[in-house]
Amino acid sequence: PEKGLKDYYKAYFPIGVAVSPRMVQPGPDAELIKAQFNSMTPENAMKMGPVHPEENRYNWKDADAIADFAQQNNIKLRGHTLCWHNQTPRWFFTDSTGKTVSREVLLARLKQHITDVMGRYKGKIYAWDVVNEAVPDTGTGIYRKSKFYEIIGEDYIEKAFQYAHEADPSAQLFYNDYNTENASKRNRIYQLLKSLKDKKVPINGVGLQAHWSIYEPTAQELEESINKFASLGLKVQFTEVDVSVYPKEHERRARRDTDKSEFTPDMADKQAAHYKMLFEVFRKHRDKITGVTFWNLTDRYSWLDNFPVPGRKDYPLLFDQNGQPKKAYESVVKF
C-alpha cells in the first residue's frame, strides 16, 4: 500500500481524524481512515447528549462502533468530551419537576457520567478531553458562565479531572479549547491551567483545537501557544485541525470577494501554503506535541459547511470531496 499521513509522521506524532459512526462502516471512508490515520476521535458520539440522553439510559451503539473499529485496526482513540456546556441534555441540570438541581446533585451526576463512560472504554481510550471550552472568548474572566459554573462553582473543573483520574488512572487527561492563538484568551486559559497544576489536579495535557483559516494563525502566534502551554509541563495536542478557506466572520466584510462557495485554485494554493507552515511548526516542536488530529475526513463533509454562513460550503481538509489528496496534502507530506 502507498504511504499515508501516519507513515510520513511516524517519527513525529500520531495523526488523527474526527469520525462519525457512519464513516467506520465498510466503504471508502473506512479505507481512507485505515490508510492514512493512526488516531481517531469520535466527532459527536461520546458527548453527553448523544451518549447519555436520559439519567438512567446510555446510548452506546455509535460510540461502541467507533471504539471497536479503532481496536480492530490498531488505531489509537481519543475520547471527546466528558464535560462541556454544549450538547449537554437538559435533564442533567434539572430535577423531575424541572427545577435546577443543587451543587451536590450536579456533582454526583457529573461523577456518575464520567465514571460510566470512562469505565466502559477503559484501556481502549488513551486520552480524554475531560473539560471542553470552559474559558470565554472575550472579557477578562477565566470562567465561562456555563450551567456547570453557575450551579457548582469554579471547582467543577478540578472535580471533573479528579473523577476522571479515579475512573481510569492510566488515561491521559486533557483540557481542550479553541482560539488559543488569541493572546487574551490564551493568557486566561494559561491562568486556568496554571491554577490546576498548582493545586496538583491530575491533568496531563492541553488540547488546542486549531479551527483555523488560510488567514490565521501566524507561525509566531502558533509557536507562542506551544511554548507557553508546554512551559506548564503539559503535553500539547492539536485536537481539531481544519483550515477554512474563508476569513473569520469578523473579517468577512473586508474580504467579501473570497466569500463564494467554490474552491478556487487561489484558495487551493493559499491553503497548501498555510498547511505547510503549520506542519513545519508542528515538526519543529515535536518534543512537546503528542498528537495532531483533523476535524473531519474529507471535504465531502465538514462541520464548517453552512457554518457560520448558511448555504456556504467550506473545503478545510487534506482530501477533496472524492477522497483524493489535495495540494494541501502534498504540502504536509513533502518535507
Active site residues: 133, 240
Which CB sits closer to ligand G3I, 8 or 58?
58
Question: Residue 224: in which H helix or E strand, if any?
Answer: helix 219-230
Give φ, ψ of 205 to 5 degrees: -160, 170
Phi (first) and psi of residue 229, to 5 degrees: -75, -35
Q: How far is the CB of 265 from ligand G3I (least distance, A)?
A: 28
Least Å distance between CB 206 and ligand G3I? Answer: 14
**Residue 312, C-alpha cell as written in the block:** 456556504
Output the residue with the shortest Cβ distance to ligand G3I. Answer: 303
205: left (phi over 0), alpha (psi -120 to 50) or beta: beta
> What CA–CA distance (Å, rounded) separates 215 from 218?
8
Taking CA 187 as the corner, what is the angle to CA 183 and CA 241, rounded to the nearest 5 degrees? 65
- Closer residue to ligand G3I in complex, CB, 246/331: 246
β-strand pairing of 39-42 with 76-84: parallel
Minimum CB separation of residue 252 from ligand G3I in Å reads 18
Number of residues in the chain: 335
Residue 51 or 107 with smaller CB distance to ligand G3I: 51
In the complex, least distance from residue 93 CB atom to ligand G3I, rounded to whole angstroms: 17
142, 191 Cβ separation under 8 angstroms: yes
Residue 303 Cβ vs ligand G3I, minimum distance, rounded to whole Å: 3
Which chain residues interact with ligand G3I by CB under 6 A? 43-44, 86-87, 132, 178, 209, 240, 303
Q: Where are the beta strands (DSSP E) in 2-161?
A: 15-19, 39-42, 76-84, 127-132
Asked whether the beta carbons of 92 and 109 are under 8 A apart, the reply is: yes
CA dihedral (17, 23, 24, 29) in degrees, to 10, reads: -80
The cell for 54 is 436520559
51 or 278, CB closer to ligand G3I? 51
As measured in angstroms, the least distance from the Cβ of 289 to ligand G3I is: 19
Distance CA 48, CA 219 (A): 35
Kind and range of the H or E element at 190? helix 183-198
For ligand G3I, the closer of residues 72 and 306 by Cβ is 306
| Closest to ligand G3I by CB, 42 or 107 | 42
